[in-house]
Amino acid sequence: METGTTAHAGAEAVVSAFSRGWREPHPHAWDDVLAEDIRLVQPLLRDRVGKQALAEEYGRLLALIPDLRGEVTGWSATGSTVRVALRLTGTLGRLPLVLDVVDQLGLDDRGLIRSRRARFDPLPAVVLLARQPRAWRAWWRSGVGPLLGRRRLLPQDPEHAGRTPVVAVGGLLLAASAWALSRYGRPGRRGVSSRPAGRARRGIPGPAR
């Protein structure tokens, strides 16, 4: 039977590996601590199951934001559930993006991550992207949200993905932009940040809802 001390040590090891992966992320940066049947639930990416599927989703995200990095600002553990406060920074198009994320990690009996549910408000990123027409082609080709349904229109051959008419891309993105701006107004010109509510602002994730 796993003791509280053992469980805490296991959670601490997972958080350490999670943190290392985000300091220099690549699609397989977390493979050593992921269960084969891991489930990913995250805004702007499709819900996926499996280690390779998760790597594909992060590959898409890093293709859109190549300098994306993350810093763990706090964590807590209850049983097999670990909650991690993570600050992501990067450049979306030509503007800086900051996202404060609360990750809920579910561990299996081997101490591997069997589920990851990320919680953050994606709308500031949508608005930031909508303000930069030059970034629309990269967004379209990445397959990252919003409008995940467009993936069925992306050719398998990446050499052809860039031939999508810019007008079509702009029309889709402007529709998302109009909705986002109607709710949140125009953000500052130097970038956009998103912070989850509650104790996670201070770096300690609150309980899942």
Kindly tell me if the per-residue pLDDT of 76 is higher than 50: yes
Q: What pLDDT, on the 0 to 100 scale, is given for residue 8?
A: 75
Could you say which architecture CATH assigns to the domain 4-202?
Roll (3.10)
Residue 140 pLDDT class (50, 70, 90 cuts): confident
Give per-residue pLDDT as tens, 157-192. Answer: 444 444 445 445 554 554 555 455 555 554 444 444
Spell out the residues 6+ positions from residue 34 whose beta carbon is closer than 8 angstroms to its own.
51, 54, 112, 113
At 102 the pLDDT is 96
List, for residues 84-94, the tens digit of each pLDDT value.
999 999 999 99
Torsion of CA 76, 82, 85, 91, to 10 degrees: 160
The pLDDT of residue 68 is 97
